[in-house]
Structure 1
């Protein structure tokens, strides 16, 4: 029997166990088998990681931009190699029960992400202009902030880990990265690649810890004077706790806190094309994506043919163990049975409120939930208001375009949306009225443009963006002219 892989902490350029030798188990959501044993960081370990990052910042802040770019390009080459791709796919599937397709996507996207972030060194420039003092000059520079505390999730563990650390490091910051307790071995692969690419010690430090320790470690890390900013991707519930802790020290945050993406379908839309995109957007990775299509809102005149087309496609999909039945299983289990139970309860509550389950049996088998379509869900119901993070599509309808827009905006979430229409002028008008960070016209909600950063417009979605502006300070140097005259002293 093969030994269970062990995940250690990475602090000041060295892999090490927890200082008290404590560990926690990571179990596959489908089989419940232990697939990883991870070091459970202590408060001393976390402090050591922050202090290592603080020491490294003194030199990394002043590192040449070509050096930073070279490290990331080398890491991109490594992570795109067959060795790393195979390791990533195997580990994602073991820890999160993802399908082969989703694991391969996360792996394939990683190289392009690193190459893109490497290119951002070109944006690290300032400007110069005359001072308001006659004869003086001002130099404004983008400078690194210090130590960044980054917390990354399990659902796209490679690309979201890269996003959490790459821009901060490219900007000259150093990072303490905390993994999800559900995917520590997978996320450690990103650290391995950057270490192999010769990222200097202390620039990136990696900790993982058992679920019970996070409420102790995270406040202590945020409180440390070396930590200047926090970024977090995860639930809005946890995001609010982190924001409250950061507010004690007036430390800024960048958050991405989920979504409830609406897809608005107008009566002139190509319904076959829309149906394929809507099912893809809602069911991919069993809906465990922040950009999943959770709400389909269409005009009543097309509701029956659109719902029929969606149902016909969705009923062909099956969730379960892809390895045991690859011919028939397209969707993964959810990341744990508690999440599956929550999804089923949300559907039951909607039923009790008068909603109709068009597809699905409103049950689960362990962590497995089959695709569901629920009609007649309204604002005020939990299934409308809260992110489900499951294979569930809410289907709603209204008469007018104004009513559709009002329903689309009836949400705290504002990350992404989509709009279906053949009328280009109407598309531009309606898309501008939907409150989301990115509106995809005749395309899936599962899409956003990397070149413009990422994030929604506020509320439960989060705030700030994963962009150069959010991980640098603009500092000014003012050169005063000689022989100035001053009040009082001449």
Structure 2
């Protein structure tokens, strides 16, 4: 392992930093230290772990400005969105600190003549393979409940946010967590698949979690299966945003723009396919396109900017290919549809009108500022269109009737359903997908227990 990693600012193409990829020996030492730290941490009383988690929230808030600036520089996120990631992570830390005893404490089971309880015990060192689109939140939504439960973390973050990954490791130490409990591996991209496979087969790695592409998820899931290890996969998404004819149209349009173009559209769990009742489709589309055209695209550090660049040039080119293939297949280009001239990885906010499946931007996951609008003849047709995807993260339905909206959501298989609200993640409720969007859950009680050994104790007094 001798290659290097160079991080590049997607705003202007300037080099930020270069990191030497670790040798095999450095990775081995990191795993050994992480394993030892995890074993010791798992034996640390819960109240001491909770104290560290509370301090983590304090450190995150103290370092918010510097961390937000770094993530914006590395992947182009609007600075206010970057700060929002950090604050959401701090709130999540406090949530788990407040609820750790309830989620991890022994549960008594009433069985006549037997003293029985269920215990949630740490499992050790967990490998986390994380993406670049939410450099702080993607890591923290897994790492916070995992360390609260008594586990350690070996983090393999995306190379283009290496600086952010190393900063997070430092923040855990500053919060009082043991050295090496959370370790960032610095490994160049060509070496990652082989390394991940090797780590999953290592007896010191207890489990693995991945947020990323379906291709990466298939590789990690199969490696975990071969080694009989727990895995949690959060993969792609192509969420439907369904607007029925009795919806509050201005409110739905406002939410639709935010739901699609937040983070420059670079999110698994966000609205991508807008399915609108035929009778209001013209009005929705007109208002939606007008607001998309009005988005202020530019320097993500500027206060007035609403959308920054995409994180990398190859991602922009891939998105443009999807748009061009969609137009060639019959989609109508309503706005955007091209890269923005000049330095940086900018792509114009884009809206396509489509008839439904058979168009790339409808069938595939689009990871960038591209929205597709399709018309539904009736509620049954809305269910058909919303269901016409291999993914299943979430769905958002807008209607004046909760009963009608619920009927739509129950007709579509997803990990979460939102009514008159855009999709989101929140520490208080489980997060995860179905179908090609993965399996397992993060956040809430499900998330903190995913990487624990649910152990039954059954004790009978001797006669």
Q: Indicate how the Cα distance of structure 1 residues 58 and 376 shifts in structure 2: closer, same or farther if over 3 A, else same.
A: closer
**Distance in 2 of aligned mates of 1:100 and 1:363:** 22
TM (norm. structure 1) is 0.88
Long gaps (5+) in structure 1: 1-19, 484-490
Cα shift at 1:321:
3.0
Cα shift at 1:22:
5.8
Deviations 1:192-234 (A, max 9, x none): 1210121122322221211112122111111101111101111
Is 1:377–1:383's contact at 8 Å kept on the other side of the alignment?
Answer: no
Is 2:149–2:449's contact at 8 Å kept on the other side of the alignment?
Answer: no
Match of residue 127 from structure 1: 107
Match of residue 487 from structure 1: none
**Distance in 2 of aligned mates of 1:400 and 1:21:** 59
**Distance in 1 of aligned mates of 2:412 and 2:236:** 17
Is 1:38–1:185's contact at 8 Å kept on the other side of the alignment?
Answer: no
State the SS of the aligned residue for 1:417: strand
Match of residue 113 from structure 1: 92
Cα shift at 1:347:
1.0
**Distance in 1 of aligned mates of 2:65 and 2:195:** 33
**Distance in 1 of aligned mates of 2:381 and 2:59:** 50
1:44-193 to structure 2, matched below 5 A, reads 44-81=25-62, 84-122=63-101, 123-129=103-109, 135-193=113-171
1:197-276 to structure 2, matched below 5 A, reads 197-276=175-254
1:32-51 to structure 2, matched below 5 A, reads 32-51=13-32
Cα shift at 1:269:
0.9
Q: Indicate how the Cα distance of structure 1 residues 416 and 356 shifts in structure 2: closer, same or farther if over 3 A, else same.
A: same
Match of residue 307 from structure 2: 331
Q: 1:455 aligns with which of 432, 435, 453?
A: 432
Provide the alpha-carbon RMSD of the alignment: 1.9
Cα shift at 1:361:
3.7
TM (norm. structure 2) is 0.93
The runs of at least 4 consecutive aligned structure 1 residues that moved more than 6 Å come to: none
Structure number with the higher helix fraction is 2
**Distance in 2 of aligned mates of 1:120 and 1:222:** 30
Query: Number of aligned pairs?
Result: 456
1:467-486 to structure 2, matched below 5 A, reads 467-482=447-462
Deviations 1:123-156 (A, max 9, x none): 102233466xx84433321111121101222111
Match of residue 340 from structure 1: 316
Cα shift at 1:377:
4.9
Looking at CA atoms only, which structure, 1 or 2, has the larger radius of gyration?
1
State the SS of the aligned residue for 2:455: strand
Cα shift at 1:326:
6.0
Q: Indicate how the Cα distance of structure 1 residues 37 and 312 shifts in structure 2: closer, same or farther if over 3 A, else same.
A: same
Q: 2:404 aligns with which of 421, 426, 432?
A: 426
Is 2:4–2:19's contact at 8 Å kept on the other side of the alignment?
Answer: yes
Match of residue 420 from structure 2: 442
Long gaps (5+) in structure 2: none
Cα shift at 1:441:
1.2
Cα shift at 1:351:
1.2
Q: Indicate how the Cα distance of structure 1 residues 349 and 189 shifts in structure 2: closer, same or farther if over 3 A, else same.
A: same
Deviations 1:164-214 (A, max 9, x none): 211111111111111210111112222212101211223222212111121
**Distance in 2 of aligned mates of 1:362 and 1:127:** 57
**Distance in 1 of aligned mates of 2:80 and 2:456:** 48
